[in-house]
A and B are shown apart, each in its own frame.
Chain A
Amino acid sequence: MNNKHDAILDYLNNQLSDRDREAFEYELKHDKELREELQEWEELMEEPAWLLQTVDPPAGMKERVLGSVFAEDKQESPAPKAVFTGKKKNKRYGLIGGLLAAGLLLSVGANVFVATQLQQVASQNEQLEEELTSVETAMEEQQESGTASPVVTANLEPAEDTAGTGIATLAESGNQAELLVQAQELDGLEGNEVYQVWLIEGESPIPAGSFTTDADGRGGSVFSLTESAQNWDAIAVTREPQPDNELPEGEVVLQAEI
């Protein structure tokens, strides 16, 4: 479909490819007119549904459906907080793997940023997850038996009333650790503002570094850490009025438990 408005019908009927659907949903987020047109179609389509002959739900369906939803959710994410989608990898990797991860991810990210069309941005988070999987596979291949180190990946989720998503990866060897943060759909910065990354142990935030965003709200960096990756409880990204703050002044924008 050349015109995004022409894709509405196929979006409503789930006839778009995954890529086109993600691109359409990206446009929806940024195009008020398109959103309003979709709403109009959805409301047009809702009305007939109320005249459909109702069918009695099977006995016990409620318990089965909700039981399954809660049980499946429990398996997927044992953490009690909704914002946490991180997962710990028990596999052990060498430092070379961690560096390779950062290099690969940044390389892929840069290619995405420069070469792709706007539509692809919508699927970036999923792409990043896929890329991380590829990176981790590559890391496994590069594994050195004597230099074991855990890797933690976590999805950075937006805090309340904020925009953006991202992925954080921690890799380490001995006392050295690398933190890779990649984020997108962040609000634009002004003046000297930066997005600052914090590693949190208990209630103590330790600054890891900061990054700025491009015109489309994308940014990230690799930070070298001096402490073990196993000490941290969470990662947070705040919007700070200037770089190199020792303690956060701004609001939390993205966060994840690790």
Chain B
Amino acid sequence: MSTLTDAELYERIREQDKEALEILYTRYERLLYSFSYNMIKDKQAAEEVMQDVFFKLWRGKGAGTYTESRGKFSSWLLTITRNASIDHLRKKKMEIYEWEERDSVHEQMPSVEEEIENKEERTELQAVIHKLPDEQQRMICLFYFQGMSQSQIAEACGIPLGTVKGRLRLALKKLKDMVAVERGIEIE
């Protein structure tokens, strides 16, 4: 069964196949746990996120419902994990920065480098992100690692709300291309 694709495993999970869930868990444990831990910086909380994610998968309802029309399973699974992590941060009121205060005292804002380096153990990705222009680094940081809303990003970056999406997409596309190159080099 371990050779089954993610989608095939998911179908079996829908039929309450415990072994299928276990295989999927094993396949994604490290990626999802690392992803959540990098956002939350709390091992216990990251484990709770894992439990939340896999409970949703097992129930297969609401946020735990995947269809092929949603695109790649792994992308969808990361979105679920990301949402659970952000939700956890919100519930625990673990706001990383007081954004309103930061915006009003601009000179006290940490640099992009500080923001990224505050999240230790991100060295490989950090190196890639540093190759982007400052504004793109900041937007990725706020959106990707801080999980901020569109309006919060606009306010923090001092840009019109309507431009956030376009600029962020551009930044993420560049980052994706650069990461792909890095991963390609590693594979070779």
Which residues of A line the B interface, CB within 8 A?
6, 8-10, 12-15, 32, 35, 38-39, 41-58, 61-62, 64-66, 68-70, 72-73, 80-82
Contacts and interface: CB of A to CB of B under 8 A. Distances in A.
A43 B173 CA distance: 10
Contact of B34 (A39, A41, A54, A72): A54
Interface string B13-28: 0111010011001100
B160 to A, nearest CB: 13
Main secondary structure of the interface of B (DSSP, over half): helix
B76 interface: yes
Given A10-B150, A47-B180, A82-B14, A66 B21 contact: yes
Interface of B: 14-16, 18, 21-22, 25-26, 29-31, 33-35, 37-38, 43, 46-47, 50-51, 54-55, 58-60, 69-72, 74-76, 78-79, 82-83, 86-87, 90, 121-125, 128, 140, 143-144, 147-150, 153, 164-165, 168-169, 172-173, 175-176, 179-180, 182-183
A61 B179 contact: no
Contacts of A62: 22, 25-26, 29
A89 B120 CA distance: 52
B122 to A, nearest CB: 6
A44 B143 CA distance: 12
Given A61-B33, A82-B16, 19 more contacts: A9-B143, A9-B150, A12-B82, A14-B90, A14-B147, A32-B69, A35-B70, A41-B172, A43-B71, A43-B75, A52-B34, A54-B31, A55-B30, A55-B34, A56-B30, A62-B25, A65-B50, A66-B18, A69-B51
Contacts of A56: 30
A32 B182 CA distance: 32
